[in-house]
Amino acid sequence: MSRTVSLSSPDGLTVTLRLPPADGSIGMPQFIAFGLSEASDAPFIERASRINGMDDAVASAVLLPTGGMGFFGWPAICGHRSGRDFVLGFCNWTAEESEGRLALAATDTVARMSLRLTLSAHKGGVVSSQVCLTNDGDVPYQLDRCMAGSFPTLAEDATVESFTGMWGREFQTRREKLGTGIWLQENRRGRTSHDRFPMLFVESANQRFGVALGFSGNHQIVIDRCDDGRRLVHMGELFEPGEMLLDPGESYLSPLAYAGADSAAFHSFVRQELITWPGDVMTPRPVTLNTWEGNYFDHKVASLKDQASKAAELGIERFVLDDGWFARRDDDTTSLGDWDIDTTKYPDGLAPLVDHVTSLGMEFGLWFEPEMVNPTSRLFETHPEWVLQVEGRPLRLSRHQLVLDLTRSEVADYLFAKIDSLLSSHDISYIKWDMNRDLTHVGGRDGKAATARQMRALYGLMDRIRRAHPKVEIESCASGGGRVDYGVLKYTHRVWTSDCTDALERLEIQHGASKFFPPELLGAHVSASPNHQTGRQLSLSFRSLVAMAYHFGVELNPLNMTLPEQDELAQFIALHKRLRKLLHALGTQFRLDPVDGRYVWGAASAERIAVIVAQGSQMVGEQPAPLRLPTHITQFGGRWRIADRTPQQPDFIRISEGQSDLLAGKIDFSLVSLTSAGLPLPMLRPESALLIELEPTTGDPDHG
């Protein structure tokens, strides 16, 4: 008899599986249903299949197919013992169902391997899958591939929405129709990457769900079409050749593969479960000044102190000292790895600046790039053997730097000691943890690939620092958004979304990133105009409103601003502080797909709705489409009006009398009508934005 088991996440996804019969039959758990709870009632009826005349039809839509024995699709787990045991077939399946957890186990008595598969329900309605594979034999097993999980689509035409890009242009949304062949994404950069994010959505007429791999290293995502027309979305780690050799008794533990119904589910999971805050709760996200674009390597204590004083005056709450503070670091060619304070720039050490910042009531943050070393550094001179390298191959520089082999305990201990000593001797409550190059040759001390071990060693180092300094928050940065994923977010609290601070570029970058990450974790800074990456000139109002809903910050030298500019920025900071509870934690978020260059996003509660409308390129339409809000926002019901707008004089191309009255709050409307009729807002000029705040009309008996 086969057993049917299931895992349900409250208000979220359900996975129902049928285990192979316990009569010694081999196979993997077959998907009966996957999706929101209605799917779990689907009847299970064995299908007849005509696969090239095989007498037994082998189930095709299974969790982690192993390949061979009549399965002709893409195997999600495979390996061998010097060429033998190349077919895996698991039997004797057992299942333990407990609250929010389904633990499955099986053995392969021929290839002598055993498998534990854990499906878990997470807050927000997200489910995850993780695999542990053990070598029960007495000779090593070469594991070539072991995906963390598979999730099935319905048998209908489907589209994949994935995120690509490059440095400074991350999270560009790409939609492709899935065909009969395999859809494949492989990341070999050794960090999450700017171009192949381990997360995507799959959409068909009757289903939409997202998947995300909780891992920052090399990965593989494969969407394979099964014989029955369904598709399997597999995701897991990508191994280098020979990298994952399991000695007798040794196990491989995969990262977690997550699936969720929509962005709201993912946001809620990240907020409620993935991130661990100092003190267990997220404090209001401090408005940040990052010194990079305002100073680069030119650190002058007197000026930095003045910038800090000005920042405090503007309402800034956290001061982050970026690259350039350690000895001989006058450009990006030297000194990574040394981590000794530059006594030329800081004759009395960092303490005077740290104390100055904290005495102003601001937090102090410090930049590190722990995994890296410049060949021009004392560390490299002393320990050239500490870098990842492949014997006989040239060392390949990127941004003049090499990568330290964190799998060597002496390297991890050295880095821990350096960071620990700085954190212990100063009032530092924030680390910007940067990582500015791809890994090109990850050879460990034994001459073998060490990509997987390096990744785990990095998490280990982050974890050690978190434990030693539980009050410190960490930002994950990798040349901007090169390490933004659910693996690193277990140890960090914010990501630097992109090195591009141009607000126009940020519209699309932030739109894509917000599909998987709540806005309060995405760093968004107001920087100088002309912008340092693109040379574009943008108004302070546009720059501020584009950053408004995110983890708001400033990345310029405030002393270079005119007094009116300082005043304007201070007003935007005050506005952000007034709205951040709504925009971050309290509100229900929404985000519309951009139409005709117009981006719309915001958050709503029963008391207030904040809507940001930003016009990127010039509109093609004669009139903008009325602003329609999604039903999960209009369900607040009742009659509302526009209570406030920023800026007071938005950059409209033309405005009618009715539109003026609407913006002045003289016209109220039923919120439900915004789903269909919408608000006829005037057309904004390109590269301008508007924030409107809606509030219920007081005294309305219908207001729900």
Nearest to 641 by CA among 572, 590, 703: 703
- Find how far residue 159's CA is from the centre of its chain: 21
> Closer CB to ligand GLA, residue 501 or residue 615?
501
Q: Is 6 helix (H, G, I), strand (E, B) or coil?
A: strand
Q: Which helix (H) or strand (E) holds 302?
A: helix 301-314
Nearest to 634 by CA among 678, 667, 593: 678
Least gap, CB of 509 to ligand GLA (angstroms): 13
> Closer CB to ligand GLA, residue 145 or residue 525?
525
Q: Is 596 helix (H, G, I), strand (E, B) or coil?
A: coil
Least gap, CB of 329 to ligand GLA (angstroms): 9
Least gap, CB of 492 to ligand GLA (angstroms): 14
- Active-site hit among 485, 499, 502, 651: 499
CA distance 387 to 410: 12
Least gap, CB of 294 to ligand GLA (angstroms): 12
Least gap, CB of 167 to ligand GLA (angstroms): 9
CA distance 440 to 90: 36
Give 57's DSSP letter: P
Phi, psi of 698 (to 5 degrees): -65, 150
Give 288's DSSP letter: E
CA distance 606 to 608: 6
343-361 in b/e form (b: 16+ CB < 10 A) is eebbeeebeebbebbbebe
The amino acid at 499: D
Point out the residue whose Cβ comes nearest to ligand GLA: 323
Q: Which helix (H) or strand (E) holds 368?
A: strand 363-368
> Closer CB to ligand GLA, residue 503 or residue 614?
503
The count of other CB atoms within 10 Å of the CB of residue 612 is 21
Q: Are 207 and 121 in contact (CB under 8 A)?
A: no
> Closer CB to ligand GLA, residue 432 or residue 584?
432
> Closer CB to ligand GLA, residue 3 or residue 400?
400
Nearest to 553 by CA among 528, 525, 527, 574: 525
Side-chain-side CA neighbours of 438 within 13 Å: the count stands at 13
First CA to last CA distance, the chain? 52
> Closer CB to ligand GLA, residue 297 or residue 669?
297
Phi, psi of 294 (to 5 degrees): -85, -20
Active site residue 499: yes
CA distance 574 to 555: 17
CA distance 388 to 444: 6
- Active-site hit among 224, 342, 434, 502: 434
> Closer CB to ligand GLA, residue 255 or residue 512?
512
Q: Are 189 and 528 in contact (CB under 8 A)?
A: no
Q: Which helix (H) or strand (E) holds 373?
A: strand 372-373
CA distance 235 to 532: 37
Least gap, CB of 437 to ligand GLA (angstroms): 10
Identify the burial level of 655 via C-beta atoms within 10 angstroms of its C-beta, where 0-12 means exposed, 13-18 middle and 19 or more buried.
Answer: middle
CA distance 75 to 82: 19
Q: Which helix (H) or strand (E) holds 574?
A: helix 563-580
Q: Are strands 588-595 and 172-177 parallel, antiparallel or unpaired?
A: unpaired
Active site residue 23: no
Least gap, CB of 327 to ligand GLA (angstroms): 15
> Closer CB to ligand GLA, residue 114 or residue 479?
479
> Closer CB to ligand GLA, residue 268 or residue 436?
436
> Closer CB to ligand GLA, residue 172 or residue 333?
333
**Residue ranges that bind ligand GLA, judged by CB under 6 A:** 292, 322-323, 332, 367, 434, 436, 477, 479-480, 496, 499
Side-chain-side CA neighbours of 113 within 13 Å: the count stands at 28
**Phi-psi category of residue 351: left, alpha or beta, with phi > 0 → left and psi -120 to 50 → alpha:** alpha
Least gap, CB of 482 to ligand GLA (angstroms): 8
Give 534's DSSP letter: T
Least gap, CB of 398 to ligand GLA (angstroms): 12
Least gap, CB of 662 to ligand GLA (angstroms): 41
Least gap, CB of 499 to ligand GLA (angstroms): 5
> Closer CB to ligand GLA, residue 436 or residue 492?
436
Catalytic residues: 434, 499
